[in-house]
Structure 1
Amino acid sequence: MGFHTYDPERADNLEDAASRYRHCSAEELLGPLAGASTVVDIGSGTGFYTDDVAAHADHVHAVDVQSEMHDRYREKGVPDNVDLVTAEAADLPLPDGEADAVVSTMTYHEFHSPDALAELRRVLAPGGRLVLVDWSADGPGEAGPPTDERFGPDDVREHLADAGFDLTRLDERPETWVAVATAPDA
């Protein structure tokens, strides 16, 4: 699987609430983040889900590898408790243990690597939560990227175990999956 990013020319599609919430509702995302004060949002794009998270966290680092996505977010309006970070998931300019939670919605297939998972674990505080929602390789491919660019639940289970995360939940749905894991205590 090759690294790719979402085309900024299509960024308006990332603000389509009916389409986005069809595959991951705000409530579904926020549930595992309850009580998290500092959250890192990997692949934040135009801030669609970041805005939901920011309403319930003290501070959010909105991370995207494309500065064009941050430009789009600025045009829309960035909440005061969100800072925009242009970086790859495998090289985050954040301190060790900075976050109570790391979240990624529909971007795991774009950034996954052992180095990226190690970096997410590094920025998580001991016991911090990793919440991932993404397109499933086991899905029919009616929405999202082609199925050969996705990971299935078994892949994700293996990736997280290899990275030292403790998987607490993995829900499989027709087109997507949701994984919740914790960083081990120090």
Structure 2
Amino acid sequence: MNLKYPRFRISVDRGGTFTDFVGDVTFEDGTTHWKTLKLLSCDPQHYPDAPSEGIRRIMRCYIPDVVPARGLIENEYLDEVRMGTTVATNALLEHNGERSVMVLTEGFADILDIRDQARPSIFALHIKKNPVLAECTVEAKERVRIISLKEARSTIPWPKEWIKCGESYIVDVVRPLEKDDLRQKLQKAY
């Protein structure tokens, strides 16, 4: 087993108190190790940023000669970082974070208001809806669709730019984003 140059895929969940990490470490011979870690989300006496520190610590377990104890982390061996944050989710749900704007595809601006029409009592005359997460919605002139690679090969004419989405799917850009239009709408919302 070659422990010197593995590949890393690291998942991070940054919470209000702790930040959790799962490292998927793959070696050249195909074997995989899992490394978990938990750090305080804020510990300025020991590190400036919990997500970066956790990534550094996991990588240093396997390649300490390549990853420095401080400073920037080279991403030569880092294939993927996935980061979720319950801090942002909670701020949205509790409406106590920064003001937010939701950007949705043109024609779908009311999707969060319409929702799925589910309600606790289908015969209730006075329906109380929970507030929508974002205070403002902006519509983007664009359209994409996710389709299977098999379907894409048989139905989409070549050459067309595809964006790979996992191993079996692609993002088909049906209508490219009109960036100037979106920029103006976001500036107006701000």
TM-score by length of 1: 0.21
- Identify the structure with bigger relative contact order (alpha carbons < 8 Å, sequence gap 6+): 1
Of the two, which has the highest radius of gyration?
A: 2
TM-score, structure 2 as length reference:
0.21
Quick check: which one's strand share is greater? 2
